[in-house]
Amino acid sequence: VYGLSWLVMATVLLVLK
């Protein structure tokens, strides 16, 4: 499911932030 992609992206952004 593509729904998981945005979730992973959001998590990565939070980690990099």
Q: What is the DSSP string of 1-17?
A: -THHHHHHHHHHHHHH-
Q: What is the pLDDT of residue 1?
A: 65
Share the mean pLDDT of the chain: 91
How far apart (Å, rounded) are the C-alpha atoms in residues 17 and 12? Answer: 8
Q: Which whole-number Å values give the CA distances from 9 to 14, 15, 17, in the listed order? A: 9, 10, 12
For 1-17, what is the mean pLDDT? 91
How far apart (Å, rounded) are the C-alpha atoms in residues 17 and 2? Answer: 23
- For the cut 90, the answer to whether the pLDDT of residue 17 exceeds it is no
- For the cut 80, the answer to whether the pLDDT of residue 2 exceeds it is no
